[in-house]
Amino acid sequence: MPGRIKREDIDAVRERARIESVVGEHVTLKGAGAGSMKGLCPFHDERTPSFHVRPGLGLWHCFGCDEGGDVFSFIQKLNHLSFVEAVEYLAGKYGVTLRYEDGEGPRRGNEPGKRQRLLEAHRVAQDFYRAYLDSPDAKEAREFLQGRGFGKAEVDRFGVGASPSGWDGLIRHLRSKGFTEEELIGSGLAVQGNRGPYDRFRNRVMWPIRDLTGATVGFGARRLGDDPNSPKYLNTPETPIYKKSQVLYGIDLAKKDIAKQRKVVIVEGYTDVMAAHASGETTTVATCGTAFGREHTQIVRRLLGDVQSPAAGVVLSDGRAPGGQVIFTFDGDEAGKAAARRAYVQDQSFAAQTFVAVDPDGKDPCDLWVERGPEAVRHLISSRVPLFEFVLRSVLGELDLSNAEGRVQGLRACAPILAGIKDRALRSEYIRQVAGWLGMEPREVESAQQSASRERPSQDTRNADGTYPASSPGRRPSQVPTDPASLSERYALAVTIQHPLDVVGAGFEMLEADSFSVPTHRLVFDVITANGGLDSFLDELSKAEKEVGVGSNSVDLAVRRWGEHLLDGLDRSARDQVTALVLTDLPVNEGEAGAIRDYAQGIVRSLVRRDLLRQASNLQAQLRRSEPESEEYKQAFIQLIDVDRKRRAYSDLS
């Protein structure tokens, strides 16, 4: 049987097949600042170039359709090839001889029956994990499930199991059933290591992920024990039978009721799906390690039958909602708001049927099930709010509507959202609501909405079948901000990710998520701090210096590894945000000595200064509002002194 291509040969191909020349055969690239090139995207229709290539990093990214990756993913996507096929294609083209792990020659395409074999391997694996859950060694897994209130009925219904902590428990079992090395790796159940394949999932609770037909195509797995080196959640990688953009956990059990009740509930985790079903919300599903995207929409839409009622998107006084309902639950944080806005942007006709349910205490359905029982889960879901209302409220929630300036900003922010509501009756209802929240005349709000509509005359550019053409404005998740304040946030984050060493000493640690005004910037900042901030980069650097010596090589290596850590475990949309920043061109001549450091220090310092000012003026406003002598006044005063001290200390440094 043909085996896997040796790691070092893959690296050799990557080295030889320079991204700029591979891409350059298909796209005319022009220089776009030092270290960067751009051209027209081959994956969507466009007139102005938004397809960027960074030869130094070996990466490409399109800011129009948000596709991106390395030289192999470019060829995969362009020619519809698997990873291995892309490596073989480029190896042939650039004269690299490939060696395979067990010394065999190149392999052919998918043999017939391969899919069947992979499904069979998953069936065997599921039985194996399920049986292991009942063994004496799986005590911790059983306690995990019992601790969340799941008994035998739920465990059996969802086929939950557990994986042993050894390295080869499953693969020995699969081999004994006649599965080949290639099938072990190809199924994603095993990982190719230096000394042969080993079990991908070790010491975890295992949830089989099934397709619409009920066949297991992959697994979601949660870590047991507290090994900090192993990710808390781990899913099957992309395989011929598992595409995370197309799977929904629980869909096999929920599909009948989704069609019957014309309702689907989307939660965030495997235990949330179990808790919701156990509470009687049998139309509940979850995405697996990625955000709810367009392909998920299509699956759900097919099940709902997509018969749209003109009155969809409102909750009637008796609690019913006409038309199909898509209900998203979020645990109430910023990520939830961002996700809701994205759902809104993604597909306007879907948006009219979409509702958001957020628990005021930030609890997810599983928390509610454990702490307050099934009624609490059902209550969360019935407390849903139409997506339009949720988005409008969350936009306004970020503004101070107590002054005229804030209200005008609010009007400006709401106008394009209102303009996006296609149904006229629904739109005028929301115009009236927004007018109420802003304390304005409905006529004022309506005229703002009308001019927003004129600015974007072709709101709906969908094809007849409801899909978007490749160049649709409906899919621009990483729009580049244009106002100076958001731009400097963006550049400060971009330079931090691209040149962390040059940022050290500028006061990056003094920033907090609230220092950023754009939600996606906050998200990226959280990713950086959650990974240990610049300290973790410096750790990488000292490791790299031990390996390759002090100098620019070790810095490059550390930057690359640190960047990989930042991307680890992020969902698709967060990944896209971070990648977009990696590829952002900095307005500085990267070739000039010291230019980057000067730029990095300058932009981060100006952000810190701006933020200290923001904190001070917030506190001053709070002082004006509160009674002198009150506890609130005292607290604000103490904090203001502290911020002032920081400002002085910081300007001494700058």
Output the smallest distance, CB 291 to Zn ion, in A.
Answer: 19
**Which of 347, 308, 348, 346 lies closest to 324, judged by CA?**
308
Give the H or E element holding residue 122.
Answer: helix 114-133
Residue 275 is encoded by which pair of tokens?
Answer: 């808790």
Looking up tokens 């200064």 gives 609
Give the H or E element holding residue 354.
Answer: strand 354-358
Q: Which is nearer to Zn ion, 3 or 64 (CB)?
A: 64
Output the smallest distance, CB 329 to Zn ion, in A.
Answer: 32
8-state DSSP, 515: G
Q: Which is nearer to Zn ion, 19 or 190 (CB)?
A: 19
The strand pair at 385-386 and 354-358 is best described as antiparallel
Site map (CB under 5 A) of Zn ion, residues 35-74, x = contact: ------x-xx-----------------x-xx---------
Output the smallest distance, CB 65 to Zn ion, in A.
Answer: 3
Q: Which is nearer to Zn ion, 62 or 452 (CB)?
A: 62
Count of CB atoms situated within 10 Å of the CB of 394? 18
Q: Which is nearer to Zn ion, 49 or 507 (CB)?
A: 49
Non-local CB neighbours of 321 within 8 Å, separated by 6+ positions = 312, 313, 314, 315, 355
Output the smallest distance, CB 91 to Zn ion, in A.
Answer: 27
**Cα separation, 502 vs 557, whole angstroms:** 15
Output the smallest distance, CB 477 to Zn ion, in A.
Answer: 12
Output the smallest distance, CB 59 to Zn ion, in A.
Answer: 14
Non-local CB neighbours of 467 within 8 Å, separated by 6+ positions = 294, 298
Site map (CB under 5 A) of Zn ion, residues 3-42, x = contact: --------------------------------------x-
Output the smallest distance, CB 470 to Zn ion, in A.
Answer: 7
Q: Does 541 help bind Zn ion (rule: CB under 5 A)?
A: no
Q: Which is nearer to Zn ion, 24 or 442 (CB)?
A: 24
User: DSSP secondary structure string, 436-458?
Assistant: HHHT--HHHHHHHHHHHHHHSS-
Output the smallest distance, CB 441 to Zn ion, in A.
Answer: 42
Output the smallest distance, CB 40 to Zn ion, in A.
Answer: 9
Q: In what order do the strands lie in the sheet with 284-287?
A: 248-249, 284-287, 263-267, 325-330, 354-358, 385-386
- Whether residue 65 contacts residue 16, with contact meaning beta carbons closer than 8 Å, is answered with no
The strand pair at 263-267 and 284-287 is best described as parallel
Q: Which is nearer to Zn ion, 48 or 317 (CB)?
A: 48
Q: Which is nearer to Zn ion, 41 or 189 (CB)?
A: 41
Q: Which is nearer to Zn ion, 4 or 476 (CB)?
A: 476
Output the smallest distance, CB 524 to Zn ion, in A.
Answer: 21
**Cα separation, 297 vs 303, whole angstroms:** 10
114, with CB counted inside 10 A (0-12, 13-18, 19+), is middle
**Cα separation, 473 vs 64, whole angstroms:** 9
Output the smallest distance, CB 105 to Zn ion, in A.
Answer: 36
8-state DSSP, 135: S
Q: Which is nearer to Zn ion, 36 or 325 (CB)?
A: 36
Output the smallest distance, CB 582 to Zn ion, in A.
Answer: 17
Size of the site for Zn ion (CB under 5 A): 6
3-state secondary structure of 139: helix
Residue 349 is encoded by which pair of tokens?
Answer: 């006709």
- Whether residue 303 contacts residue 315, with contact meaning beta carbons closer than 8 Å, is answered with no
Q: Which is nearer to Zn ion, 46 or 644 (CB)?
A: 46
Site map (CB under 5 A) of Zn ion, residues 577-616, x = contact: ----------------------------------------
**Cα separation, 360 vs 368, whole angstroms:** 12
Q: Which is nearer to Zn ion, 44 or 277 (CB)?
A: 44
**Cα separation, 344 vs 375, whole angstroms:** 29
**Cα separation, 273 vs 150, whole angstroms:** 12
Q: Which is nearer to Zn ion, 65 or 380 (CB)?
A: 65
Count of CB atoms situated within 10 Å of the CB of 191? 15
Question: Which parts of this chain interact with Zn ion (CB under 5 A)?
Answer: 41, 43-44, 62, 64-65
